[in-house]
Amino acid sequence: MKKTILFIVVLFSVAISGCTDNSADKPIGGETDEHGCLGSAGYTWCDSLQKCLRTWEEPCPGMVTNFKECAALGYPVMESYPRQCRTPEGDTFTEDIKDQTHEQDRAIKIAEEYTKNMKPYIEENGRYLKINSIVQFKCPGCWIIYLQYNLDLGKPTETYTNDRMTVNITISNWKVADAVSGRGGIIVLTPEECIAKGGRTLNIVGGAACRSNETNIGDVKGFISPNICCIPSENSEKLTIDKAIEIAKNSECIEKGTLTDNYMYNEYTKTWWIDLNMKEEFKKDYCNPACVVNEDTKSAEINYRCTGALPPE
């Protein structure tokens, strides 16, 4: 009887020791390194935290390998596009902008849905909506989409088709920040008439547009895909960035901010867009301001490009 009781006590002790094994706190299965980290499971040794971890689950200070890890540790992120993060050691990591085509399609979808809900499109039977050109700015989710569509106002004549509406949609942080539209008849020319006016025909499939020193005077018939007629502008000399900066320095742009080295030229609107660092008293939340210099008027003004600033219908 005593032997039986002793045997039961021994079994109970073994069971307790198995339950209190703390090996579950460590990565198991496969070979481990000198710190006990299981590399095949993605674990590496973090010296600053003195433990094994997966860097994509928990960043390790002093062992940054990409933008996501750098930003997760709270290091400074520069609002460039793509964004960049800098470690205290001076290493810089750039954000990986994946699937640029997907982002552009997303911006187009936002612009198209907004346009189709505008009053003229609904009340005047808008149709044949298409994209004229696309401009991406150096901030996440910032675009200008140039669209046009026809208004069904009756049977077109030989010279004029149905009226056309053009719409410029400004998107900031993936939301429509501004929408500007205007209408006008479309002159239809033959290729010969376009050439006689000193112009050239241009296939606009894919968003192609007239050069900055040209003007689109109408559509050209006789082609399977859409073409337009581009003729030299009266002022064919394109405004250079140096001249644009001179104009900007004599405008409200300098009164309220400082010009940066980031700029782009919009062929469609014939404007230079120069990014601005606004003075503290003129800053606005959720805005990416730019100094816009108009080539035709030789004037400059600030476009704040603010999220959510929708115009009245």
**What CATH code is carried by the domain that includes residue 163?**
3.10.450.630
**Residues 104 and 144 grouped into a single domain:** yes
- Which of 94, 112, 145 is the endpoint of a domain? 94
Residue 247 lies in a domain: yes
Nearest to 292, CA basis, from 261, 264, 313: 264
Which of 2-6, 98-102, 116-120 comes out lowest in average pLDDT? 2-6
Matching residue, tokens 């003729």: 231
Query: Are residues 200 and 210 in contact, defined by beta-carbon separation less than 8 angstroms?
Result: no
Query: Are residues 153 and 163 in contact, defined by beta-carbon separation less than 8 angstroms?
Result: yes
**Residues 157 and 85 grouped into a single domain:** no
Which run of H or E residues covers position 32? Answer: none
- Which of 50, 75, 94 is the endpoint of a domain? 94
pLDDT in tens, 54-99: 877 777 877 788 888 888 777 887 766 667 888 887 888 887 766 5
108: confidence class by pLDDT, cuts 50, 70, 90:
very high
Peptide bond into 82 cis (omega under 30): yes
Residue 210 lies in a domain: yes
Query: Are residues 207 and 226 in contact, defined by beta-carbon separation less than 8 angstroms?
Result: no
Count CB atoms within 10 A of the CB of residue 225.
Answer: 8
312: confidence class by pLDDT, cuts 50, 70, 90:
very low
**Better pLDDT: 211 or 283:** 283
pLDDT in tens, 162-197: 567 888 888 888 889 888 777 655 567 888 888 888
Tallying the residues shown for the chain, one arrives at 313
Residue 228 lies in a domain: yes
Token pair for residue 43?
Answer: 């674990």
pLDDT of 256: 93
- Which of 94, 125, 148 is the endpoint of a domain? 94
pLDDT of 99: 52
**Residues 117 and 176 grouped into a single domain:** yes
**Residues 168 and 208 grouped into a single domain:** no
Q: Can you give the residue range of the structural domain that contains 296?
A: 241-303
Q: What whole-number distance in Å separates Cα of residue 280 and Cα of residue 86?
A: 24
Residue 208 lies in a domain: yes
Residue 158 lies in a domain: yes
Residue 311 lies in a domain: no
Whether pLDDT at 130 is above 50 = yes
Number of structural domains found in the chain:
4
Q: What whole-number distance in Å separates Cα of residue 65 and Cα of residue 68?
A: 9
β-strands 290-294, 271-278 pairing: antiparallel
**Residues 171 and 131 grouped into a single domain:** yes
Give residue 145's Cα distance to chain centre: 11
Geometric angle at alpha carbon 112, from 108 and 114, rounded to 5°: 120
**Residues 105 and 161 grouped into a single domain:** yes
CA-to-CA separations, 163 to 22, 98, 185, in angstroms, rounded: 78, 39, 5
Residue 15 lies in a domain: no
**Residues 89 and 117 grouped into a single domain:** no
Residue 7 lies in a domain: no
301: confidence class by pLDDT, cuts 50, 70, 90:
very high
Whether pLDDT at 9 is above 60 = no
pLDDT in tens, 245-287: 999 999 999 999 999 888 777 766 778 889 899 998 998 877 7
